[in-house]
Every structure is written in structure tokens, then in C-alpha cells.
Amino acid sequence: MRKSEITRETRETKIEARVNLDGTGDFDIRTGIGFLDHMLEQLARHSLIDLFLRASGDLHVDFHHTVEDTGIVLGQAVAQAMGDKKGITRYGNAYVPMDETLTRVALDISGRPYLIWHVKFSRPKLGDMDTELFREWFQAFSQASGVTLHVENLYGQNNHHIVESCYKALARALRAALTIDPRMAKEIPSTKGLLGDV
């Protein structure tokens, strides 16, 4: 089983995460930010990654540090659980519709982090969470996991649907990319023989 556990503590946040990439999508998530919990629950359930996450942070300042650091820790946990990446499919993509909204995510578990973010919101907040922080979460996750990540909301009106479709599409793309291909189970999916070397 591809599992990992990460704890990260700074003056601003303390975050603990446990992941099982070969799980069933079980989750136990408490960040202190209700909307972020809801998004990470979607990520776990639709990726089939079991996720335990606890975060405490300086929410009296704002949500930025907790949101960003949660993305960092979850990205680190996924990267650690992948190990040498032998046998993974490597690439994944997904289109996720939610009512009037359609979002596309494509990713490459390349070891070379990069985020393309084509998502716009018409409201500054969802619940108590600033919508600008969603990009910060995806950026942090991309950097820490070593994933090239393209996120594009093709169309939509409801801001909740827009961001939730982003997380669900990420989940489905990760699920595809992390799947072990039995034909290549002992091989790293790169002609270089390793992933992450520029």
C-alpha cells in the first residue's frame, strides 16, 4: 500500500496529514475552514485517496496561511506516498460537469511542478473563504507534489459549482494518473528512467 504521513509546524500553522493512495476515499478532515473541508472531502472521495488531515492555524489573521500550508502538506504526502513512481500511469485528465458548470483538469506527475489556472469567480467569498485562496491551494499542491497541473473552468455561473468541479476534476485526474499500469509495474514511465530531473 502506498501510504505516507507528514507533519508540518510553523509559527503560523500546524498540519498533520496521512494518505493512502490505494484507499477507498475515506476521509477525516478538520482544517477550521468549513468550505475547505468540503472541498478536500470531495478530493478524497473522488480520487479514492484515504485522507486524514488536521490543521490549526492563525485564522484570527485570515485563512491564507492555513489554506496554503494545507496544500503544501497534502502535496508532500502524495509525493512521499508515490515513492519512486514505478508503474504509475503518470498522466491523467478529467472533465467534470456540475449543473451549468464544466471544468477540465489535465496533469502530469512529472516531478516538475507547474500550475496553469484559468478559473474566474464573480464573488469574493464562498462561505467565509476568499475565492482568491483556491488558486493558492492549487499552486501549493502542485509545487509540493511535483505535479504539472492545468485547471480550466470552461464555463459556469455558480461559484460553488465552479470551485467544486475543480477539486472533483483534480481528484478524477489524480485517480487516473496514480493507477498502476500492470504492463509497466516495475518501470518508471519516462524514457529518462526517472521523473523529476529537468
Q: pLDDT tens digits, residue range 110-132?
A: 999 999 999 999 999 998 999 99
What structural domains and CATH numbers belong to the chain?
Answer: 3-184 (3.30.230.40)
Say whether pTM exceeds 0.85: yes
pLDDT at position 198: 46
What is the distance between the alpha carbons of residues 43 and 25, in angstroms, rounded to a whole number? 8
Bridge partners of 153, per DSSP, are 103
CB environment 81-106: b (16+ within 10 A), e (fewer): bbeebebbebebebebebeebbbbbb
56's CB contacts (< 8 A; 6+ apart) are: 13, 14, 15, 32, 66
In angstroms, the Cα distances linking 3 to 63, 69, 79, 133, 194 are 28, 20, 10, 28, 21
pLDDT at 197 over 60: no
